A and B are shown apart, each in its own frame.
Chain A
Amino acid sequence: MAETNGNYNVIGTRPVRHDGVDKVTGRAIYGVDAHMPGMLWGQVLRSPHAHARILSIDTSRAEALEGVHAVMTAADLPDPGAGVAEANESGLQSKRYKSASLMARDKVLFEGHPIAAVAATNRHVAEEALELIDVEYELLPVVLDVREAMQPDAPLLLDDLHMDTGGELADEPSNIASRTIHEEGDIEAGFAAADRVFEGEYTMSMVHQGYIEPHNALAYWSADGHLRVECSSQGQFGIRSELADHLQWPISKINVFPSEIGGGFGGKTTIYLEPLAAVLSRKSGRPVKLTMSRSDILRATGPAPGGYAWVKIGITNEGRITAAQAMFAFEAGGYPGSAVGAACLCAFGPYKLTDFRIDGYDVVVNMPKSHAYRAPGAPQGEFAVDSLVDEICEEMGFDRLEFRAMNASEEGDLRANGTRYHCIGNHEVIEAARTSDHWRSAIGSAPGRQRGRGIASGFWMNGGGMSTAVAQLNADGTVTLREGSVDIGGTRTSVAMQAAETLGIPVEDVDPIVPDTDSIAFTGVTGGSRVTFATGWAAIEAARDLKQQMIDGLADHWDVASESIAADEDGTFRQNGETVSFKEAAGILDGDDLRLVGSATVVPEGSGNTFAIHIADVDVDLETGKVDVVRYTAIQDAGTAIYPPYVEGQMEGGVAQGIGWALTEEYVYDDEGHMRNVSLLDYRMPTTLDVPMIESIIVEVPNPGHPYGARGVGEVPIVPPLAAITNAIADATGARMRDLPASPPKVQAAIAALDSD
Chain B
Amino acid sequence: MATEILSGKVHVNTTINGESTDFLAEPRESLLEVLRETLGLTGAKEGCNDGNCGACNVIMDGRLVNSCCVLAVEASGADVTTIEGIAGPSGLHPLQEKFLEHAALQCGVCTPGFLVSAKAMLDENPNPTEDEVRWWLAGNLCRCTGYDKIVRAVLDAAASMRGEG
Shortest Cβ distance from A375 into chain B, in angstroms?
A: 15
**B47 CB contacts on chain A under 8 angstroms:** 212-214, 262, 294, 680
Q: Is A20 an interface residue (CB 8 A)?
A: yes
A213 touches B106 (CB 8 A): no
**A447 CB contacts on chain B under 8 angstroms:** none
Q: Is B28 an interface residue (CB 8 A)?
A: yes
Whole-angstrom distance between the alpha carbons of A714 and B16 in the complex? Answer: 39
B107 touches A489 (CB 8 A): yes
Q: Is B59 an interface residue (CB 8 A)?
A: no
Whole-angstrom distance between the alpha carbons of A25 and B42 in the complex? Answer: 11
**A24 CB contacts on chain B under 8 angstroms:** 92, 96, 99-100, 105, 108, 111-112, 115
Whole-angstrom distance between the alpha carbons of A20 and B100 in the complex? Answer: 6
A26 touches B112 (CB 8 A): yes
**A20 CB contacts on chain B under 8 angstroms:** 99-100, 105
**B43 CB contacts on chain A under 8 angstroms:** 25-27
Residue with the highest number of chain A CB atoms closer than 10 Å, among B108, B115, B151: B108
Whole-angstrom distance between the alpha carbons of A655 and B43 in the complex? Answer: 28
Q: Is A210 an interface residue (CB 8 A)?
A: yes
Instruction: Using CB atoms, name the residue of chain B closest to A212.
Output: B47
Q: Is A490 an interface residue (CB 8 A)?
A: yes
B45 touches A294 (CB 8 A): no
A488 touches B106 (CB 8 A): yes
Whole-angstrom distance between the alpha carbons of A679 and B51 in the complex? Answer: 10
Q: Which of B44, B48, B50, B103 contacts A645 (CB 8 A)?
A: B103
Whole-angstrom distance between the alpha carbons of A679 and B69 in the complex? Answer: 14
Instruction: Using CB atoms, name the residue of chain B closest to A680.
Output: B52
Instruction: Using CB atoms, name the residue of chain A closest to B86.
Output: A25
Q: Which of B48, B83, B144, B152 contacts A679 (CB 8 A)?
A: B48
**B49 CB contacts on chain A under 8 angstroms:** 293-294
B148 touches A29 (CB 8 A): no
Instruction: Using CB atoms, name the residue of chain A closest to B109.
Output: A262
Instruction: Using CB atoms, name the residue of chain A closest to B95.
Output: A24
Q: Is A476 an interface residue (CB 8 A)?
A: no
Majority SS at the chain B contact face: loop
Instruction: Using CB atoms, name the residue of chain B closest to A265.
Output: B143
Whole-angstrom distance between the alpha carbons of A210 and B50 in the complex? Answer: 15
**A17 CB contacts on chain B under 8 angstroms:** 100, 103
**B115 CB contacts on chain A under 8 angstroms:** 24
Shortest Cβ distance from B71 into chain A, in angstroms?
A: 13
Shortest Cβ distance from B7 into chain A, in angstroms?
A: 7
Shortest Cβ distance from B88 into chain A, in angstroms?
A: 11
Whole-angstrom distance between the alpha carbons of A30 and B84 in the complex? Answer: 15
Q: Which of B44, B48, B106, B147 contacts A680 (CB 8 A)?
A: B48
A16 touches B111 (CB 8 A): no
B82 touches A26 (CB 8 A): yes
B100 touches A212 (CB 8 A): no
Shortest Cβ distance from B116 into chain A, in angstroms?
A: 9
Whole-angstrom distance between the alpha carbons of A680 and B105 in the complex? Answer: 20
Whole-angstrom distance between the alpha carbons of A32 and B83 in the complex? Answer: 16
A263 touches B107 (CB 8 A): yes
A681 touches B52 (CB 8 A): yes
Chain B 116-141, CB within 8 Å of chain A: the 1/0 string?
00000000000000100111011111
Q: Which of B84, B101, B108, B140 contacts A262 (CB 8 A)?
A: B108
Shortest Cβ distance from B114 into chain A, in angstroms?
A: 10
Whole-angstrom distance between the alpha carbons of A378 and B77 in the complex? Answer: 54
Q: Which of A27, A293, A687 contacts B138 (CB 8 A)?
A: A687
Q: Is B156 an interface residue (CB 8 A)?
A: no
Shortest Cβ distance from A58 into chain B, in angstroms?
A: 21
Interface 9-residue window, one of A90-98, A609-617, A688-696, A747-755: A688-696
User: Are A26 and B146 also in contact (CB < 8 A) when A680-B141, A685-B141, A689-B134 are?
Assistant: no
User: Are A679 and B106 also in contact (CB < 8 A) when A17-B100, A656-B147, A693-B148 are?
Assistant: no
